[in-house]
A and B are shown apart, each in its own frame.
Chain A
């Protein structure tokens, strides 16, 4: 069925999307929490920056990230100084770029979920002796669980679907940066339509299943008592 290089591309894609989702859960949650509860004037600009990848062409984002991570960019100089080397055209460069690219898909559902909880349950938790961090983990996170699921699924799926940023930052190195979407592009370029069909079908089914999960399985939105 699928060739070894196809399987390799799929595995790389899953690995990339998985790592990005985990990293974004760690980074996106505090950002979403802050955006949901902050009333400062500079909340607006920050929210706009977070949402930017939604409207920016991936090539634009990729271009700036490439400059930043390149030998003359601030990130590139930092990684070289730290002895990590350069990030472009490596798997971890791809991870960093994808984190930026998928940020809004994690932050926005979480922000909506946190806003939906409202102030009250946290006030209740405080009157029941829970310190703020304790209240966050014991009340806010469980109540925002549907939001966490939606955000994780969207982030994972969106990372799987990226193409432009990958080409800009990762290039097309087998086993390193050649993810499924790039592999399909390669097949088409090489006129291997049968291979392109197979891999595309896998992607099609995957996308459908993800969206089906998201829409068919509506977590019972239980009203707060």
Chain B
């Protein structure tokens, strides 16, 4: 396979007692790619192989045209132009925040002072620079760790569940910063996570893993809308739609967000008109009917056509894939309801959306 300049080609085989990693992936060389799966699925191991922290005997790795590993070559970790954020912040306890930030930066020949200032500003840690790591909260530490990884001007940012060790409140504190990274960084990011919520908020592309193998690899919305994938999102099965704020209704405190194929009214959260936003719709919040249903409290009804039906994890339930214009949607309903409505592919229906989460 010829390496193209805007992709990450990763092929690794690793045999450990009780675990085998076997992947052959082409990942986009830009945007945020989520490596998604349960613990033990091999996503962290894959990330470590890409960083060179783990060495798969049989492996190939090309990043945007540069060979990092093949049969003859092996670029050690310290020579790979990466930034790595570990699950625990792992700051150097003997150095101040600034010392931590400078550690990597001063070892990079072409690093510019700009990237340190930018990293400090991006993560909002300007007031912490003189402190020692043990004087920081968990959330602050992780922000410093992210800034430290950015300060080396990496050409690829690797993040291993940077939020997993934090409680919900700290997560909420950091997520906005990660969303800023997503919007402002122009380098590819590989983001390991087992949280559907984080993936929905941050990822453009998703690689679903299980037992050391890749189950699916594709753009986020397409991949989430696939019914044939045993991506065990369980209750969290649903889609993420890229949308834009198109209208504000001041009287009812609502905004209308527009996407390819339709629009939705959601609670006004002060996003400016024209702002790009992500909308997450869970399968369990979508119900179907033949009529438009004017006599319901549900605000959003969209005309949709059924494209596929599949079994859900529970035998009583089915997942129905719908197309609203060009945008896919998934609905979860009982098989009895599906039989009553005589749902089959090609059918035109109304999708009623009970809840819409506006994210990012």
Contacts and interface: CB of A to CB of B under 8 A. Distances in A.
Contacts of B88: 120
A127 B77 contact: yes
Interface centre among B77, B141, B152 (most CB of A within 10 A): B77
Interface residues of A, number: 23
Given A126-B76, A129-B152, A131-B78, A225 B107 contact: no
Contacts of B78: 125-132, 134-135
A225 B133 contact: yes
A129 B134 contact: no
A128 B53 contact: no
A44 interface: no
Interface string A116-150: 00001101111111111011001100110100000
- Tell me whether chain A's interface is mostly helix, strand or loop, or mixed: helix
A128 B86 CA distance: 12
Contacts of B51: 127
A224 interface: yes
Contacts of A126: 52-53, 76-78
A222 interface: yes
B148 A225 contact: no
A225 B83 contact: no
Nearest to B101: A128
A223 interface: yes
B262 interface: no
Given A126-B53, A126-B77, A127-B51, A225 B90 contact: yes
Contacts of B136: 225
Contacts of A139: 92
Contacts, number: 74
A129 B141 CA distance: 20
Contacts of B89: 225
Contact of A134 (B79, B107, B141, B149): B107
A139 B78 CA distance: 14
B108 A129 contact: yes
Contact of B107 (A123, A130, A142, A143): A130
Contacts of A145: 94
Nearest to A143: B94
Nearest to B91: A225
Nearest to A123: B53
Contacts of A131: 76, 78
Contacts of A223: 93, 134
B141 A225 contact: yes
A142 B92 CA distance: 10
11 contacts: A120-B86, A123-B77, A124-B92, A127-B53, A128-B148, A128-B152, A129-B78, A129-B104, A130-B78, A139-B92, A143-B92
Interface of B: 51-53, 76-79, 82-84, 86, 88-94, 103-104, 107-108, 133-134, 136, 141, 148-149, 152
Q: Lowest 3 A-B CB distances belong to which pairs? A: A128-B104, A225-B133, A127-B84
